[in-house]
Amino acid sequence: GDSVTQMEGPVTLSEEAFLTINCTYTATGYPSLFWYVQYPGEGLQLLLKATKADDKGSNKGFEATYRKETTSFHLEKGSVQVSDSAVYFCALSRDSGTYKYIFGTGTRLKVLA
Amino acid sequence: NAGVTQTPKFQVLKTGQSMTLQCAQDMNHNSMYWYRQDPGMGLRLIYYSASEGTTDKGEVPNGYNVSRLNKREFSLRLESAAPSQTSVYFCASQGAVTEAFFGQGTRLTVV
C-alpha cells in the first residue's frame, strides 16, 4: 500500500542554519505531495504542495521538489528562525476525488536562538 | 473566518463511557475527515465523508461511528471508550480543488 517515510526527529538547529527534512514515498500512479506544519497546540496547516513530477512547492522560505525518480519530497529552508519550531508532516494523496491523505510520522524541529 | 471548529478541546473519559466529538466547517466544503494522531504514528484516517449523506471507513474505524449531520457538521462518536482510544483527534474539511483545512484538535484521555 501507499506509504510515506520521514526522517526521525527531533531535529535541533541553531538560528540561521540550513534545514533539510527528508521524505520519501511509495505509491502507485502519480500522487500529489504535501508538507503540513503543526505549531504547538494547533492543528495542521498546509505549508506547500506539488502535484506532479519536477514541481517545486515553496512558501515562507521553505521549498520542496517532487522527485519521481527518487520518490522523494525533501523539505529545505536556507535559514531557519526560532519561529519555525514545529512538527512537520509529509503527506501524499492519490485519490483524485476524495483527497484521503497518507501522512508520515512527523519530524519535530527545534530552533535555538 | 472560523474555518474548522472542533469541540471539546480536552476531554477525560472513564473506560466504557461514551462521547461525541463535534466538528463544524464554514467553508462550504463537501469532504470532511476524522483523523487520530498518536506519537510516532503520524495521522491516521478514521472515517471520512465525501459529501453530505455519505460516510466511509478509513484506516482505523473500529470503535468509532460518525454522522454527517449536514454539509457543515461531521461528528465522531465513541460508544464505549477504551484506553487505546487515548489520542489527539483532528477534524478536517476539503473543497473540490483545495487542500485540507484542519481544526485545532481534541485531546482525549481514556482512563
Q: B108 vs chain A: nearest CA distance in angstroms?
A: 14
Cα angle for residues B84, B88, B89 (degrees, 5° grid): 100
3-state secondary structure of A82: helix
How far is it, in rounded angstroms, from Cα B15 to Cα B47?
Answer: 22
Summarised one tens digit per residue, pLDDT across range A47-64 is 999 989 999 999 999 999
Option in A34, A41, A105 nearest B99 (CB): A34
How far is it, in rounded angstroms, from Cα A9 to Cα A11?
Answer: 5
Q: Which long-range contacts (CB under 8 A, 24 or more apart) does B14-18 make?
A: B14/B81, B14/B110, B14/B111, B15/B81, B15/B82, B15/B83, B15/B110, B15/B111, B16/B80, B16/B81, B17/B80, B17/B81, B18/B77, B18/B78, B18/B79, B18/B80, B18/B81
Indicate yes or no: CB of B45 within 8 angstroms of CB of A106: no
pLDDT exceeds 90 at position A23 = yes
Q: How confident is the model at residue A95 (pLDDT cuts 50, 70, 90)?
A: low
Q: A61 vs chain B: nearest CA distance in angstroms?
A: 20
Cα angle for residues B65, B68, B70 (degrees, 5° grid): 160
Summarised one tens digit per residue, pLDDT across range B74-97 is 999 999 999 999 999 999 998 877
How far is it, in rounded angstroms, from Cα A27 to Cα B35?
Answer: 20
Judged by a CB distance cut-off of 8 A, whether residue B41 touches chain A is yes
Q: Which long-range contacts (CB under 8 A, 24 or more apart) does A56-63 make?
A: A57/A33, A62/A35
- Residues of chain B numbered 65-84 and touching chain A (CB < 8 Å): none
Instruction: Give the pLDDT of residue B1.
Output: 59
Judged by a CB distance cut-off of 8 A, whether residue A99 touches chain B is yes
Chain A residues near residue B50 by CB distance under 8 angstroms: 97-98
Q: What are the cell numbers at A86?
A: 514545529
Q: Is the dihedral of CA B99, A93, A45, A62 positive or negative?
A: negative
Judged by a CB distance cut-off of 8 A, whether residue B89 touches chain A is no
Q: How confident is the model at residue A42 (pLDDT cuts 50, 70, 90)?
A: confident
